Amino acid sequence: MKDKFDKVANENKVLKSELGDINEQVAVLNDKFNNNTGEIMTEMKDREHRARNIIIYNRYESALTDLEKRISHDTGEVGSMMELAGIRAEQIDKVVRMGKKGTRARRVKVFTSPRACWENLEEQKCNVLITKG
């Protein structure tokens, strides 16, 4: 009888130990899930923000020395190209050149405001090919 009691007591200790290990694993998984949820939400917000951006390659870069005039030149060039795609000038928030100025034309990054401009593109089924300037 004593042997049976000792055996049950040992099994009980083993089960308690295993239950503690399982509880720790569940806690770790919950932490990972909570952290992962935050990362996923951040990634979704970033994607939503980036979805409004357009990158244009191989566009002629103005040789003007005044920064404001170069920005104005790029904005005008991009504005006329975007109108072909159905994106109005007021839907363009900002136009910037990416990278360091050098011998090669830098990429142009266009920040658009509402996603409505993308819906407009889909409605028109407009394909715009942007080539070297």
Give yes or no: residues 26 and 73 share one domain: no
Q: Using alpha carbons only, what angle is made at residue 130 by residues 126 and 131, rounded to the nearest 5 degrees?
A: 145
Q: Token pair 């990278």 is at which residue?
A: 99
Query: Is 68 within a domain?
Result: yes
Q: Estimate to the nearest angstrom the gap between the alpha carbon of 15 and the chain centroid.
A: 47
Give yes or no: residues 40 and 60 share one domain: no
Query: Is 130 within a domain?
Result: no
Q: Which domain holds residue 104?
A: 52-124
- Cα distance from N-terminal residue to C-terminal residue, the chain: 95
Q: Return the higher-pLDDT residue of 125 and 9.
A: 9
pLDDT tens profile 37-55: 778 888 888 888 787 888 8
Give yes or no: residues 22 and 7 share one domain: yes
Give yes or no: residues 28 and 59 share one domain: no
Give yes or no: residues 76 and 120 share one domain: yes
pLDDT tens profile 80-115: 888 887 788 888 888 999 888 877 888 899 888 766
Q: How far is CA 26 from CA 22, 31, 35, 94, in A?
A: 6, 9, 14, 47
pLDDT at 23: 93
Query: Is 81 within a domain?
Result: yes
